[in-house]
Amino acid sequence: MKAMAYTQYGSPDVLKLAEVAQPVPKADEVLVRIHAASVNYNTLASVQGSPFIVRMMMGGITKPKITIPGNDIAGKVEAVGANVTRFRVGDAVFGDIVEHGFGAFAEYAVVPEKALTLKPANLSYEEAAAVPEAAIVALQGLREAAQIQAGDKVLIVGASGGIGSFAVQLAKYFGAEVTAVCSPRNMEMVRGLGADHVLDYTQTDFARSGQQYDVILATMGYRPIGDFIRALRPKGRYIATGGSLKQIFQALLLGSFISAFTGKKATSLIMKPNQGLELLRDLLEAGKIRPVIDRCYPLSEAPAALRHYGEGRARGKIVISVQPST
């Protein structure tokens, strides 16, 4: 089978189209013919081997042990192991395989059945591949970490990105009043996702606007943690789901102190892959939320997709069309 593989860390150009052995499913696994995958932060970080903590987490200090990147997949079941009960050959599925060896940038992957859910019937494979990690992060950040309630005033920082575009829609679904922060070129797109208010970050500093929020979800960039805490109402909740490592670790390390002294919550989300994916499928099928795709690239142009992602300007998700949908 064809796959985009790499044997050394470096720029996206270390990815090369290669012929590799097609995997065979074990008793509790499903063989998926991958139609589409998507690009996430870990995709670029694993190829670059940077920040260095990524090498430690993936078990390859000097060279990668996992040689096919990508964790979001959408495709069709080609074969099932003897113990598989949830899926049959021909089922259209999607999911996040981050805990099962990555490997989304390939024509086939073997995946434990627990990592997959039936694809929403009204979504293309490309649209479905844009969902798993980003939408799960948004859902868990709002529902579990922030414990969002109807009527909450919610601020989404980085509202036009992959996580942010789902967060805006999910916050509205949960009954919140949503203020979205993005660049001027993305303001109309974010309004179209349902945001009640949209701030152009080049003109308005949310931390000094005088407005306060019950929930702040920060998905990208870097702001000192004090900026977020100032913009929270009493007992407000700040959740870092992305952005620079400094932003993430500030919330993780200082959160308990901030809570003790201010009564406000600050934390970094530790995402649990695929938990909530069936709810998201139902919302997608009902038209309550939708994926936003910036651009689709063929498998052979995966390096260009990673370079585009690395620029930090994508609207929604960047998707890899692995093979034609038939």
Tokens linked to 252: 């993780």
For the chain (326 residues), the mean pLDDT of every run of 10, in chain order, is: 97 97 96 98 95 86 94 98 97 97 97 97 98 98 98 98 98 98 97 98 93 96 90 96 84 81 92 97 98 98 97 95 77
Look up the CATH number of the domain holding residue 140: 3.40.50.720
Whether 181 maps to a domain, the answer reads yes
CA distance 168 to 67: 34
* Residue 289 near residue 166 (C-beta atoms within 8 A): yes
Same domain, 14 and 71: yes
CA distance 77 to 88: 7
| Residues whose CB is less than 8 angstroms from the CB of residue 98 and which lie 6 or more positions away in sequence, other chains included | 42, 71, 133, 273
Same domain, 211 and 315: no
- 279 Cα distance to chain centroid: 16
CA distance 4 to 6: 7
Look up the CATH number of the domain holding residue 308: 3.90.180.10
Same domain, 118 and 163: no
Same domain, 88 and 193: no
Same domain, 122 and 238: no
Whether 262 maps to a domain, the answer reads yes
Same domain, 38 and 121: yes
Whether 227 maps to a domain, the answer reads yes
Whether 138 maps to a domain, the answer reads yes
Which pLDDT value is given to residue 325? 62
Which pLDDT value is given to residue 64? 94
CA distance 91 to 117: 10
Question: Would you list the DSSP string of 203-221?
Answer: T--GGGSS--EEEEEE-SS
Same domain, 253 and 308: no
Amino acid at 172: K
Whether 326 maps to a domain, the answer reads no
Same domain, 228 and 155: yes
Same domain, 194 and 240: yes
Which pLDDT value is given to residue 256? 83
Same domain, 126 and 137: no
Which pLDDT value is given to residue 221? 82
Same domain, 33 and 107: yes
Whether 286 maps to a domain, the answer reads no
Residues of the domain holding 26: 2-131+291-321
Place of tokens 């980085």: 158
Same domain, 127 and 153: no
Question: Would you list the DSSP string of 13-73?
Answer: GG-EEEE-PPP---TTEEEEEEEEEE--HHHHHHHHT-STHHHHHHT-SSS-S--S---EE
Whether 314 maps to a domain, the answer reads yes
Number of domains forming the structure of the chain: 2
Which pLDDT value is given to residue 250? 86
Place of tokens 């627990």: 114
Whether 20 maps to a domain, the answer reads yes
pTM: 0.95
Write down the H helix ranges in the chain. 41-48, 53-58, 125-129, 132-139, 162-173, 187-192, 225-230, 245-262, 277-285, 302-310
